[in-house]
Amino acid sequence: MRPRTFTLDEASSLLPRLSELLLQTQECKLRHDQHQDQIAEYTRRMSSNGDILERDLNETRQELAKAAAELSSLVEKVQEMGCELKDIDQGLIDFRAEREGREVYLCWKLGEPDIRWWHDLESGFAGRQPLE
């Protein structure tokens, strides 16, 4: 299936909902990463000194699974809008668009007031150029 192509107005209209979803996604990813770190710590402690942490480890694994499922669901909601989530931590979103007869991305980052940048499909964030 061909990816959705946005006009600037169409992409801009999604920013309020995307801002909300990205903040939730970032919070969820933080929880997920904290659970991963805790599991690594429990595993290290259990192997180095034999502490009985199995119950804590299993509970944390369950919390990690919940966070992973929630994170997946949030990312899917962003993707269902037709845009591409490029980086959760930065809140970076690309919208496929047409500019001067070729496909490009309109580029937006969480915290920016509106969409002011674009880049080639291959160049990524480093290749951002102003729209005007």
Q: For residue range 122-131, what is the model confidence (pLDDT) as tens digits?
A: 998 889 999 9
What does the CA dihedral 1, 88, 110, 60 come to, rounded to 10 degrees? 130
Four-residue CA torsion sign, 100, 105, 107, 113: positive
Q: For residue range 70-106, what is the model confidence (pLDDT) as tens digits?
A: 999 999 999 999 999 999 999 999 999 999 999 999 9
Q: For residue range 19-51, what is the model confidence (pLDDT) as tens digits?
A: 999 999 999 999 999 999 999 988 888 776 655
Taking CA atoms, 114 is separated from 9, 24, 86, in Å, by 10, 19, 17
Token pair 């509106």: residue: 114
